Amino acid sequence: MPTLMDPSTYYSKEAYDSRRIPDQADASTRGTLHKLIGTRLPWGNAQEVVPGSLFQDPTPGTLRFWEKWEMEKNEMKASGTYTPRPLEDVELHIKHDHEVFRHAQLPFRSQFWLFLRGAGKWTTIILIPILILAHMTVMSASEQSAWDFTIHLLINFYSWALGLPLICWATGHIVITRFPSIWFRPPPGPKWEFNRRTGMVRIFNDRNTADKNEAVEFEAPFTEFDAYIITSPDRQGLAMNGLSLGHRYSGAGINFNDLITPDNTTQQPCALWDFLQNYMDISRPLPDITMFEASRHLDPVSVTHDKKIGRKPRYWIDMADDVFKEKVADLLARIDAIDTFSRSNLMAKHVKYMD
C-alpha cells in the first residue's frame, strides 16, 4: 500500500474547502433566457446523497466480478496463457477515483446502437402487458371465438405493434454483443473533469484531436461555478429538469444531461449537485459509494475519517446483494426528501450576485 501523504501537502492551496471559501469578484449578470429556464441552486449544507444511477454503478456484484477477473488475468499472465480481450486497451477517457472525476461520451455512432437496443427492449416490455390487458378487455365483447379473435389480431395488429421494437431490440443486441468493430468507437476525448486534489474544473475541447489529454478549453476553480436547474421540454412537451454548471465570470459551462437523464422532478439533479460538492470538498471524506471503493484508501481525509468510524476497506465489495438493495431504497428515500431549495446560499457571503 502506498504511503499516505499529509493532507496539508497532498491537496493544493486552491482545493475546495467549505470551511474556507475565498471572497470573489462580483458575479456577471445572467442573460434573460438563462434567467427564465435556469434556477440557481444554493452552495453548502450538502446532504450525503448521490443520483441513483451513479450510486448503483457499479454494484457490489460487479465489483466482485472484476476483482475475480483481475486475479484470473494475473494468473494467466504469469503462466503466459493470457490473450487480451477485444477493445481491452481502448482509452475511454473516463476516470472516477480519489483525485479525478472525469467524464467522456461515446460518439453518435456508438450511442445509436445502444439506443436502438435499449429503446427496442423497453418498448417491447412496456407494450406486452398493455396489449394483453387490451386484448382481454376487447375479446370479451367480440362475437368471434377466443382463438379466432387472437389469431386475427396477431396477424393484423400484434405483429405490427411488436414487430418493430422486437427487430430493433434483436438487431441492437446482436450487433453490440457479436460485432464490436461495427458499433463501438471510443470517445474522441474527455468532456469535463473535476479534480478534488487541485480544486479545479476543466472543460475539454473535443474538437481538437491532436492530444485530448491536453486540449483544455477552459479551466477555473470549482468555487467560481454556480449550479443551475435547467428546465426544458421533452419531445412530448413535458417539462424536464437537468443540472448545469456555469462559470460565474464567463460563458463556460457544463451540461450534465449525458451523465444523468433529465427528470420531471428536481430531486435527482439536486442530488448530483450535492454529490459534486461533497466530492470536491476536502473538509470531508469522499462520498462513500462503490465507485470510489478501490481508491478510497489513497485520499488522506477519507483515510482519517474511515479509521475514526472503523469503516472496513471492503465495505461495498463484500456487501450482500439484498443489503445493497436496502441501501438503494434508503438513498432514494433521502433524495425524495432533499431540502436544496430551503437552504441558504453559502456562496452569497463571498460573492455579490447581480441577479
Half-sphere exposure of 161 (CA within 13 A, CB side): 16
Task: Indicate the Cα dihedral angle 103, 191, 10, 294, nearest 10°.
Answer: 10
The per-residue pLDDT for range 256-300, each reduced to its tens digit, is 998 998 989 999 999 999 999 999 999 999 999 999 999 999 999
Is 114 part of any domain? Answer: yes
Residues 202 and 337 in one domain: yes
Q: Examine the domain organization and report whether 287 and 312 are in the same domain.
A: yes
Q: Are residues 27 and 151 in the same domain?
A: no
Residue pair 55/289 in contact (Cβ under 8 Å)? The answer is yes
Whether 210 shows a pLDDT value over 50: the answer reads no
CA distance 337 to 270: 11
Q: Is 32 helix (H, G, I), strand (E, B) or coil?
A: helix
More confident residue, 309 or 1: 309
pLDDT at 245: 95
Out of 128, 150, 183, a domain closes at 183
Q: Is residue 128 part of a domain?
A: yes
Please give the average per-residue pLDDT across 133-143, as a whole number: 61
Same domain, 52 and 171: no
Q: Is residue 84 part of a domain?
A: no
- Same domain, residue pair 45 and 161: no
Among 51-60, 105-114, 248-257, the minimum mean pLDDT is found in 105-114
Could you tell me if 101 and 225 lie in one domain?
Answer: yes
Is the domain of 157 the same as that of 240? no
Res. 208: pLDDT tops 90: no
Q: What's the whole-number average pLDDT of the chain?
A: 85
**How much is the pLDDT for 322?**
95
Residue 209's pLDDT is 44
The model's confidence at residue 116, banded by pLDDT at 50, 70 and 90, is: confident
The verdict on residue 337 lying in a domain is yes
- For residue 354, tell me if it sits in a domain: no
147 and 95, same structural domain? Answer: no
Answer yes or no: are the C-beta atoms of 204 and 190 closer than 8 Å: yes
Residues of the chain above pLDDT 70, percent: 84
**Judgement on whether residues 171 and 47 belong to the same structural domain of the protein:** no
Residue 276, domain member (yes or no):
yes
CB 228 within 8 A of CB 27: no
- Tell me which of 153, 183, 213 is where a domain ends: 183
pLDDT for residue 110 = 74
Mean pLDDT of 36-61: 92
Name the more confident of 280 and 217. Answer: 280
Closest CA to 99 of 335, 296, 248: 296
Interatomic CA distance for residues 227 and 43, integer angstroms: 8
Which of residues 129, 151, 183 is at a domain's end?
A: 183
What are the grid coordinates assigned to 218, written together?
477552459
Task: Give the number of domains in the chain.
Answer: 2
Do residue 218 and residue 176 come from a single domain? no
- Please indicate, yes or no, if residue 79 is contained in any of the structural domains: no
Domain that holds residue 60: 7-74+91-105+187-349
* DSSP states of 67-121: HHHHHHHHHHHHHT---PPTTTT-----EESSSEEEEE---HHHHHHHHHHHHHH
Percent of the chain with pLDDT strictly greater than 90:
53
Give residue 34's pLDDT: 66
Question: Do 260 and 296 have their domain in common?
Answer: yes
Positive/negative CA dihedral, 283, 249, 264, 346: positive
For range 194-219, the mean pLDDT: 77
Instruction: Indicate whether 45 and 127 sit together in one domain.
Output: no
Range of weakest confidence among 53-67, 91-105, 202-216: 202-216
Confidence tier at 212 by pLDDT (50, 70, 90): very low
Asked whether residue 297 is assigned to any structural domain, the reply reads yes
pLDDT tens per residue across span 20-37: 999 999 988 776 656 666
65-78: pLDDT as tens digits? 999 989 988 999 89
Which pLDDT belongs to residue 187?
79
pLDDT tens-place string over residues 288-346 = 999 999 999 999 999 999 999 999 999 999 999 999 999 999 999 999 999 999 999 99
